[in-house]
Amino acid sequence: MALYSEKVMDHFRNPRNVGVIENADGVGKVGNAKCGDIMEIYLKIDNDIITDAKFETFGCGSAIASSSMATEMIKGKPVSEAAQLTNKAVTEALDGLPPQKIHCSVLAEEAIKKALDDYYQKNGESK
C-alpha cells in the first residue's frame, strides 16, 4: 500500500491556492522549521465571506496536501462556517492520512483559525 491516498497525492502534486495575498484580511502562521512544518494561510474576506484563500507551506507531502485541501474547503464560505472547520474534516476530505501525519491536518485547522482571529482582531470584533 502506498503511503498516501490518491487524493493526498493529487493535492500534493497539484496544490490548489499556493501563494500570498497582498493586503490580506487575515493571515495565520503556525508550526516551526525546527519541527519540519510551517504553514501560512492568507484570507481575503468580503462581507464575512471568504472570497479567496492562499497558502505557503514548508513541510512534507501531507502538510502541503492538507493546506491545499483546507483552503479549498473554506473558499466561498462565511467566516462563521470556516471557523468550524476541523482537522478531521480535512483528513476525511483527503481520504485519510497515515496516523503519524494527522498533525499536518491539525496545523491546517490551526492556521485557518489563526487567520480568522487575525481578521476579527483587525475588524475590532471578537468571536
Partner 1 sequence: MNIYADNAATTKMSKAAIEAMLPYMDEIYGNPSSLHSVGQRANEALADARMRIATLLNCEPREITFTSGGSEADNQALISAAKLGERVGKKHIISTAFEHHAVLHTLDKLGKMGFEITLLDVPENGLITPEEVEAAIRPDTCLVSVMYANNEIGTVQPITEIGAVCRAHGVLFHTDAVQAAGHLHIDIKAQNIDMLSLSAHKFHGPKGIGVLYSKKGILLSNVIEGGAQERGKRAGTENLPAIMGMAAALEEACHSIDEHAAHLIPLRNKLIDGLAQIPHSILNGDKDKRLPSNVHFCFEGIEGESLLLLLDDKGICASSGSACTSGSLDPSHVLLAIGRPHEIAHGSLRLSLSEDVTEEEVDYMIQAVTDVVTYLRNMSPVWRELTSGKSEFIIK
Closest distance of CB 61 from partner 1, Å: 5
Residue with cell 483552503: 71
Q: What is the grid cell recorded at 45?
A: 474576506
**Cβ pair 64, 88 in contact under 8 A:** no
CB of 29 to partner 1, least distance (A): 7
Examine residue 56 and tell whether it contacts partner 1 (CB under 8 A): yes
Q: Is 93:21 a contact under the CB 8 Å cutoff?
A: no
The Cα–Cα gap between 107 and 83 comes to 14
Query: Considering the rule CB under 8 A, would residue 100 count as an interface residue with partner 1?
Result: yes
Interaction between residue 102 and partner 1 (CB under 8 A): no
Exactly one of 3, 19, 20, 35 is catalytic; which is it?
Answer: 35
28 is a contact residue toward partner 1 (CB under 8 A): no
Question: Out of 7, 48, 58, 120, which residue is the one contacting partner 1 (CB under 8 A)?
Answer: 58
- Taking the least distance from each CB to partner 1, the nearer of 37 and 110 is 37
First to last CA, the chain: 43
77 burial (CB, 10 Å; 0-12 / 13-18 / 19+) is: middle
Which spans of this chain sit near partner 1 (rule: CB under 8 A)? 9, 12-13, 15, 18-20, 29, 33-40, 56-61, 63-64, 100
